[in-house]
Chain A
Amino acid sequence: MIQKIFIPIFILFFCLFILSKWTHNFTAFTVFSHTLESAGKLPRTMPDISLINQDGTPFHIKESNKYKMINFVYLNCPFVCHKVNNQLEQIYYNLTSNSLSTKIDFITISFDIKNDDIKKIKNYRKLFSDDISGWTFALLYQTSQKEFDFFLEKLGIWKYTIPRTGLINHSIYIFLVSPENNIIKVFDPARDTEQYIIQQINSCLKS
């Protein structure tokens, strides 16, 4: 009798175990959330990569001793990237309206090694208002695709280029990095409202 009950219960728990492993204890059901969870718990060190800004100046994220808001886009994106940047623009203006704004920088990095160049990101940056001095648009600098993919994996960003269309499917997370170069918050613009993000940033800046 016990054996009869035990077998299905054992199978059930075994299936649940596999499912929990596959979904990071039932917390990550999508490739986006799974990649983020796999990168590790917060706070964690921001991986380093060599970048070049819209003016052609090379830099590293860890060089700045300010808080940083970092997101990823590609200029040929049909929709989502621009929507996220518009959201980020609102956040930027809201933050720059108070005295804490000097403590934070915004960095938008392009995914698209093949198509995006300095001229394009410079022109793209001009689409936003003139007064975005604290917002850098960047490209990879002297970095191979393999190194960039490794960087994204460590960061927790999912990226996949569709072979047919060349479109890049990717996570749209925004990372808040501390002056000590630790990722302290990750925002999901699809879920988190601008007000929530601003509130979270302000609480970090004030502390």
Chain B
Amino acid sequence: MSKIIKHNIILLGLIIAFWILSYTYNDWLCETMPRHQLIQLPSMILIGLILGKIFGNKIKLELQWSISILIIAAFSVVFWMIPRSIDLAVIHADFNRLMHVDMIITGFFIQSILKNTIPEVKITFLGMISSMTIATGIALTAFNLLLCSSFTIEQQKETGKLLIIIGILLYFFTLITFFRESNPSTKNQQLMLSQTDE
């Protein structure tokens, strides 16, 4: 099977996944906080990451632009974690779809940029995202106040616990990336691969 056909099939699959998550099951996913924050939102980032892996290979930016886009990506994630944003997304389907599109774009750029940037930026970004996820998880678990009017405190705490677990897993992924990137043999392999690509 040629590469173009394979990519088109994956693209079609991603469009169907987006449609199912954003339209068909939107109401069900917006019913509880864990579904909205831990299924719908990460799924959109995942769609973006896959798109980035397929179509973002050629994006090679200068360091200052890579860092700038990663700052915007981190900001996007923070923005959609704010209780007010979550509430408005749950209440207004169009605002929710704006979140979906933003998360797909964020995922796309994270994948494309992290792949081609220096290890220091990669590790800093991953470390920051994992710390942010853990911090949000702790905040949601510790707060006895209802932060999102569309959900319940129980759902809030459940989301918090799961976010802590995800954050810890991300932290381990950051550590693995750190050791892999700091290993000279991996660096040489990557250098050889990039030269072969060119």
CB <8 Å contact, B148 and A19: no
Q: Write out the residue numbers on chain B whose beta carbons fall within 8 Å of the beta carbon of A29.
A: 82-84, 147
Q: Does B4 contact A (CB under 8 A)?
A: no
Q: Which of B13-21, B64-72, B158-166, B179-187 lies at the interface with chain A?
A: B64-72
CB <8 Å contact, A34 and B84: yes
**Minimum CB–CB distance for A65 against chain B, Å:** 35
Q: Mark A182-195, 1 if CB is under 8 A from B, else 0.
A: 00000000110000
Q: Which of A7-15, A49-57, A119-127, A135-143 lies at the interface with chain B?
A: A7-15
CB closest residue in chain B, given A79? B152
Q: Does B117 contact A (CB under 8 A)?
A: no
Q: Mark B55-87, 1 if CB is under 8 A from A, else 0.
A: 000000011110110011001001100111101
CB closest residue in chain B, given A171? B149
CB closest residue in chain B, given A32? B149
CB <8 Å contact, A30 and B83: yes
CB closest residue in chain B, given A6? B64
CB closest residue in chain B, given A33? B84
Q: Which of B68, B75, B147 contacts A30 (CB 8 A)?
A: B147
CB <8 Å contact, B149 and A22: no
Q: Mark B32-43, 1 if CB is under 8 A from A, else 0.
A: 000000000000
A32 CA to B72 CA, complexed, in Å: 27
B106-128 contacts to A, CB under 8 A, are: none
A161 CA to B148 CA, complexed, in Å: 14
Q: Does A173 contact B (CB under 8 A)?
A: no
Q: Does B1 contact A (CB under 8 A)?
A: no
Q: Mark B130-153, 1 if CB is under 8 A from A, else 0.
A: 000000000000001111111000
Q: Write out the residue numbers on chain B whose beta carbons fall within 8 Å of the beta carbon of A170.
A: 149
CB closest residue in chain A, given B67? A8
Q: Does B88 contact A (CB under 8 A)?
A: yes
Interface band, chain B:
20 to 34
**Minimum CB–CB distance for B142 against chain A, Å:** 14
Q: Which of A18, A31, A191 contacts B87 (CB 8 A)?
A: A31
CB <8 Å contact, A30 and B64: no
Known A4-B64, A23-B82; contact A30-B149, beta-carbon cutoff 8 A: yes
A100 CA to B78 CA, complexed, in Å: 48
CB <8 Å contact, A7 and B145: no
A31-60 contacts to B, CB under 8 A, are: 31-32, 34
Q: Does B91 contact A (CB under 8 A)?
A: yes
A154 CA to B82 CA, complexed, in Å: 23
CB <8 Å contact, B150 and A30: no
Q: Write out the residue numbers on chain A whose beta carbons fall within 8 Å of the beta carbon of B145.
A: 190-191
Known A11-B72, A15-B72; contact A22-B146, beta-carbon cutoff 8 A: no
CB <8 Å contact, B75 and A22: no
Ranked nearest first, the 9 interchain pairs of A and B with the lowest CB-CB distance are A15-B75, A169-B149, A11-B68, A8-B67, A4-B64, A30-B83, A7-B64, A31-B87, A8-B68
B interface residues (Cβ-Cβ under 8 A, vs A): 62-65, 67-68, 71-72, 75, 78-79, 82-85, 87-88, 91, 144-150
Q: What are 14 A-B contacts defined by CB distance under 8 Å? A: A3-B64, A4-B63, A19-B75, A22-B82, A22-B85, A28-B84, A29-B82, A30-B149, A31-B87, A31-B88, A160-B91, A160-B149, A162-B150, A170-B149
A interface residues (Cβ-Cβ under 8 A, vs B): 3-5, 7-8, 11-12, 15, 18-19, 22-23, 28-32, 34, 158, 160, 162, 169-170, 190-191
